Structure 1
């Protein structure tokens, strides 16, 4: 059950309407603003503000700012004139019904349009990313092929040069061998008449460069045989990301992986915690009894932990939220007490005689939290709702009268506020 906000304020010019809605301690992230040409809604549980506007506005240029405990909505008018009222009267139920239907239809169309736009944007981004990756891979493959071609051409040139040198060496050795054999056939060679491989007195035309090359070649050691062909095993460090390490930014990747692990742990925390429970600890009745015992003995924090575990097992039992709200009241966690009481009231629907007592307790606990936050108007609404259920409860009557007195004193003497 939502509480209607009545302490709003509004101002206007000929062209614009300004509406200020107090947040009443709600968090900024929990505020939901819905605006169309004819309707405005500001919802921050358990509060609700809605306005069926007196004249249509330009929703495309409307803005809303949330901060400093207030929501300020700026609504440009379609026609430059002063409005007599901000909203149409709620007595015109037929017109309000038609406006609600049009607003719902417009909102659905807007959501569908935003969904299609988001899908198209994501599709375009994926297409661009894929094209970029394909382009980079193509460039990388071209660079690798060009590098291979360069290495292959260099190796081929070196092999050709080596083959030519070997062929020249073989020809030189053959020529020297033929020259020496020719001299031996003509004269008997002795140490006295041999000089530099030729016979003294024998005119043999041999180019001196062949003798020098032959001597230098004979002094060179023999070249080793070519190495045998083998396989070299190469292993790579496994990586989560497909890109090469030289192209990646390692700190950013590690931070991203850490965030993903934190998200997985947060999602699986409840599952792991429930798996560790014993069989009797998975019983809702056992957990509720244990929480009640902790509350009776004054261990309010322990009772909250037990009720938290029970709610993880089943989130549809209003008594668990109602009991946890009582613990939060004892611990002065007033906002949490309001949230749990509101959740219990939402589950206690439809209102029937069987859940009347629980609805009365939930209203009283939420009203008590409001009063401790000095939000007496909201607290009075909850106490009056509880009195409607249990009109003969003297304690409720006394507390309600006391809250009315505080509100009256505050209204007549604002300095005491």
Structure 2
């Protein structure tokens, strides 16, 4: 039992209360402090101090400081007035009233803590949403920046292509006529001139002059096939003039001239035009750098999810395969042994379950769940005395755990009280069943009454108790 400290230094003003409690040589790190609007407590083993305040204080504007070998409370009064004393006078409140007063104070403090948790969660969620929105805004700005850069590069590329098109169009306007077209034009006109020359030879003696002029023209003018079309027209006019002048010439070798003309014409037919000039178009691609695309991110996410699912499946399969394998039991893990015992119990292997629960209790003798579950197995196998023993130890352990939690954190103890009561109800019922089977009906009735006190709304317990009393 702890040593209760009943002395403190108390001073006050109209608005605040100052309480100083000595630690009696205990290190400040071992002091566990709790306070609500009507109650303060200090647990510093082996000492213990508590005080029910005369009036309520504002816990939001109060503080406790540990140092200099004592704990100092600086409490703000809810109502500004002098108290005269820290605690109510002895006999002013009955034990039941004091208990109710403390329970109400614990409840208010619990509600305050829950409210703060909710407000903190709401604030955290709002902050989370704000950060997400800011991140989205940053991503939108980056996206707009990249889109603007892409549009500018696209516009510059389009302007460059248009300039190249304009340059090529203007260059074509000053190009010479292709070689092949010049060949066809010259050859057709030359053949026409030859036909005219033949008719002139047979109709008149002046044709010789024409062929002489034509030969001169063929040696000089016809070979210049790369000139423009207007030069062809000029040659046509000169050939016509030479035809008129050739009417007076007589001594000309017409066959030689014709052969020479055909030779020049064959040369014209076999020649090819010069190739056009080549051009170069340069393209510039925008570099993405290290920015991944959405498709790449989705692909990587799918891969990771697949790997995680594979790991989960492998782990689950390993657990299923090794659940009933005694060689795979981790002898240093009482929780694993408890799960193994539960698996044995579900399959009807009660002795195997007892062995697993016993191994877990060897590692953790205060494991109340294993005690309660082992009691059920003893009950199934007819070992009623062992069942009663396990139930008794389980009840003692759960009560001890709840008392320790109440001393350390009364608010948490209040939250855990429902689960604690439910666990004790099960243990009381199991022990009552074993007592009844041993013929100790009176003791079984007492256990059922204790269970009903913890769970007064359970009609099944009341019916079982009624049937037990009828025996």
TM range (shorter): 0.3 to 0.5
TM-score under structure 2 length normalisation: 0.40
* Structure in which a larger fraction of residues adopt helix: 2
